[in-house]
Structure 1
Amino acid sequence: MAARKYIYRVVVDEWPTEDGMPFIDQDWRWWEQIVDYFHNPEGDDPSPAWLPDITEYLEDPGDEWTPAGWVNKPRFTRLVCEPGDEPDYPNGYRGYDDQPVIAVPIAPARRFMQRAQPDAAAKQLREWGCKAHVERAALGDWEAA
């Protein structure tokens, strides 16, 4: 096997959101409106024009044979969740956990030794309207610490 010569990373030049922030930093209520409209498309569509088909980014509702949840959550995504409720044990209230709303693409902070994964992440971000690309840098010599 040949030695790796480069290290790769995903760089997002522009996010398509109104405030220019990453998808994961948007308020969960905004995503909830989009998901609600997706499930019941009556009324005004709050979805921005850049948003692709979000079917694979939503939780599978399940049926009598399979439980609800993500069977195959897309790679390079993070869950946007409705905040849970803190428990109040002395009063008998157990609270509830964060409730997932949608899985949204992220720009992975990690570096990659092979190009395929950052290419896939950048492609996914571009499908969601981002201006993203992959950068590479030569590997330097390792030093003993």
Structure 2
Amino acid sequence: MPSMITISLPSEQRAKLSGCLRRAGRREIGGILMGEQVAPDHFRIIEFSVDAVSGTAAHFVRSPKHHSAALGDFFRRTGADYRRFNYLGEWHSHPSFPVRPSSEDITSMQGLVDGERDINFSTLLIVRLRCWFLFEARAYMFVREAPRRSVSLTL
């Protein structure tokens, strides 16, 4: 694998995320990312699910049932073209903290890719609004049995 992966977050998706963050206020929220591979090592986020109820001011754990249904719907809409459209990873907010993964985030994501599921890599997108309007985001790539990868996030 190359050293740098590019993930694009189109303005439409950024605007939707910003709205979710405003509604959640100081509570952490999150979900899964669904994307399209637009070139080798370049992915575009085209949908995301949102669990807007289970987070607290300093913690978020997504509900697998809700997000599994969102992923199934996404695969149906994209004709199950898994080579082009697929699960890209996870996202959650850090409304009161920097957009860096906590030790719990790192353990959870590495466990996801090193676990029994057939997931070779997963992105973690951490987002927040500063001053209620300035969108901040950073992405991290976790790879099965390998160190985290660098990600260029284009907004």
TM-score, length basis structure 2: 0.25
**Relative contact order: is structure 1 or structure 2 higher (C-alpha 8 Å, sep ≥ 6)?**
1
Between Structure 1 and Structure 2, the one with more strand by share is 2
TM-score, length basis structure 1: 0.27
Larger-Rg structure: 1
